[in-house]
Homo-oligomer: A and B are copies of this chain.
Amino acid sequence: MTTDALVLDAAAQDLLFREARTANTFSDEPVTEEQIQAIYELVKYGPTAFNAQPMRVVLVRSDEARGRLVEHMMDGNKAKTLSAPLVAILAVDNEFHEELPTQLPHFPQAKDLFFTERPVRESTATLNGALQAGYFIVGVRAAGLAAGPMTGFNAAGINKEFFADGEHSVLAVVNIGKPGEDAWFPRSPRLAYDEVVTTV
């Protein structure tokens, strides 16, 4: 039943959701710049409120930067953050409204009408940046790669270390690569439809 009611082909369903899993170990195969560009050029089209597009991505490619990042990860996440072929910091730019005059050409006043206060910008950035992080994880899988998103870290430490301007907030750190040996934990349960969806 579940497949018949969808238009997306079954192989794509498996690739993006059903067989895709959060990887805990990775092979040595590198993740290329071309792959990340292709992921971004696809998922950039995912919708955000006011076309705000607050998500920013920092690809941690140098050993030096990886060392600085691992310092701020919780102990249980350090080993896999060290061993993943590529680590991406997903953050938001809390000054995203500066881009609205070009990104929202039919309503450039939005910048001054709605976003003069930092707390409003922060909540808009967090909500829409997390939406985009969802699209990004789907995009990583669309590239045939496994994503290992993590939120176990010292956010203030990462923000200070990687975003010296004080205008960015980390949302998640994502390990990316081809899965390695014993990459998967047993899949955890999911809530049943009736536990999640109600009708009024």
Contacts and interface: CB of A to CB of B under 8 A. Distances in A.
Given A38-B6, A127-B171, A162 B18 contact: no
Interface string A175-200: 00000000001101111010111111
Copies assembled: 2
B61 A199 contact: yes
B142 A6 contact: yes
Contacts of A70: none
Interface in A40-55: 40-47, 49, 51, 53, 55
A196 B55 contact: yes
A200 to B, nearest CB: 4
Pairs of residues from A and B, 8 with the lowest C-beta to C-beta distance, nearest first: A134-B134, A130-B130, A7-B144, A5-B38, A8-B142, A65-B200, A12-B12, A2-B41
